[in-house]
Structure 1
């Protein structure tokens, strides 16, 4: 897996908005996914993020479509980053700190910190994680990432 600040680690929100209905974050998400597909930027995620996307999508569109899109994302973002016990432990430490993101997001933040990747998410709670290289999902931030 490529390492460094140029590698993006995508949160579930990016995947959901890219395939979702009309929303202010849909176009920035789609622009980012397109840039990844065109190999203009390196990005990955975790199997757990793909799993969460499939779960959310299946509630609205059915299991077959959700699973197919999950497979597509897994292929696009491969190699996926495996969450290790060290990520879990660091994530739980983040989770127990004051004003932290939720447990799932805390573990994802730990993965980003460990890999040195820039985390991309619509969830501003990630900004509370000290030392996290973060881009909040919006048009301006995505344009900056793609420049």
Structure 2
């Protein structure tokens, strides 16, 4: 049987489409290639983004910045000494970009000048830390990425 140009082109296009479809189905059905979104409520967070920018600017204007120190007990998050520990209200959110089941949130309740995140809650790897706190109706925001 002799194949002319038109038939050859049609066979090549069908073979190429089958090849592409095979990889699309393989990638979408395999759990190995499953990645979580960074945020489930992306659009709601986008609406309050200007407030986050203002809070981050407020934190950047402080004389003493929030610092994070790794110790044997875990992560110690130090807040500015300009404020009393009773004034600081907020939350610390730690999330793993690779696994959302490891994400957790801790309310800020200070007895000293620092907040301790226990060692047993933190696995080795990359963590993103978001510290949101409020003092006298003024919001502050601190973000940092760290490899633990």
- TM-score exceeds 0.5: no
- TM-score when scaled to structure 1? 0.27
Q: Indicate the structure whose relative CO is greater, using CA pairs within 8 Å and at least 6 residues apart.
A: 1
Richer in strand (by share): 2
Point out the structure with the larger helix share: 1
Higher gyration radius (CA): 2
Using the size of structure 2 for normalisation, the TM-score is 0.27
